[in-house]
């Protein structure tokens, strides 16, 4: 996609220094999803240092200067999927990449996780990028990695909200189950489970 460029958070710290990067992230605002804002401000750097997740920042030009319009964070996730939760097409896809536990009747697979995805509402910068484009950057990065290491699937978890489910379905994700949250994951305004979704990339990467 033209007009945008990406920056790996770890690379930014190496070039600019941690203090400068922290100041940059402190201006990120996402009132629609406090978890997205909290992650980029309080957890992204630490998760990157520990190797838990890699955060990628998306920039766009605004009034002649680059501004942060959104970000996504990727990680690895071990996922268990019961065969009964899938139709025959998805079972066929999983057989190519997953291990099947006959006793538990479930597939076990390590997948790239889109752990966070959010737009920056500061100064209206969220209007400079669509949700589809932001998710597209995350999927593109996953495909670039899979062309080196193999794999054709991605995984994410989201709140059970019609607009979110519709958004991810429109972008090729398939809902297969719910995951109950651990006690330390439950917030005051969140549900007690997340919807689990997977995406299969065709040879064209979509």
pLDDT tens digits for range 75-84:
999 999 998 9
CB 88 within 8 A of CB 149: no
Nearest Cα residue to 116 out of 192, 16, 9, 18? 9
In this structure, the strands spanning 99-101 and 65-82 are unpaired
| Tokens 């054709």 sit on residue | 152
User: How many beta carbons lie within 10 A of that of residue 114, not counting itself?
Assistant: 25
Angstrom distance (rounded) from CA 200 to CA 95: 13
Write down the pLDDT at residue 205. 45
User: How many beta carbons lie within 10 A of that of residue 192, not counting itself?
Assistant: 10
- Terminal C-alpha separation, the chain: 14
The string of pLDDT tens digits covering residues 189-202 is 567 889 999 999 98
Write down the pLDDT at residue 185. 66
List per-residue pLDDT tens for the chain, 206 residues long.
678 999 999 999 999 999 999 999 999 999 999 999 999 999 999 999 999 999 999 999 998 899 999 999 999 999 999 989 899 999 999 999 999 999 999 999 999 999 999 999 999 999 999 999 999 999 999 999 999 999 999 999 999 999 999 999 999 999 999 998 877 666 545 678 899 999 999 865 45
């Amino acid at each position: 996609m033209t007009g945008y460029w990406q920056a790996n958070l770890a690379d930014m710290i190496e070039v600019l220094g941690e203090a400068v990067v922290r100041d940059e992230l402190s201006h990120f605002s996402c009132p629609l999803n406090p978890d997205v804002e909290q992650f980029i401000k309080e957890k992204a750097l630490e998760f990157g240092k520990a190797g838990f997740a890699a955060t990628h920042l998306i920039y766009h030009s605004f009034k002649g200067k680059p501004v942060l319009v959104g970000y996504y964070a990727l990680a690895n996730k071990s996922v268990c999927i019961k065969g009964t939760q899938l139709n025959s097409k998805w079972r066929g896809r999983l057989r190519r990449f997953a291990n099947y536990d006959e006793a538990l009747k479930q597939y076990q697979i390590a997948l790239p996780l889109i752990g966070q995805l959010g737009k920056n509402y500061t100064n209206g910068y969220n209007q400079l990028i669509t949700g589809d484009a932001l998710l597209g950057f995350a999927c593109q990065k996953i495909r670039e990695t899979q062309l080196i290491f193999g794999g054709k699937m991605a995984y994410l978890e989201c709140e059970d909200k019609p607009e979110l489910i519709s958004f991810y379905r429109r972008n090729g994700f398939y809902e297969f189950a719910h995951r109950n949250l651990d006690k330390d994951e439950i917030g005051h305004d969140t549900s007690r489970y997340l919807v689990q979704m997977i995406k299969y990339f065709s040879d064209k990467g979509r």
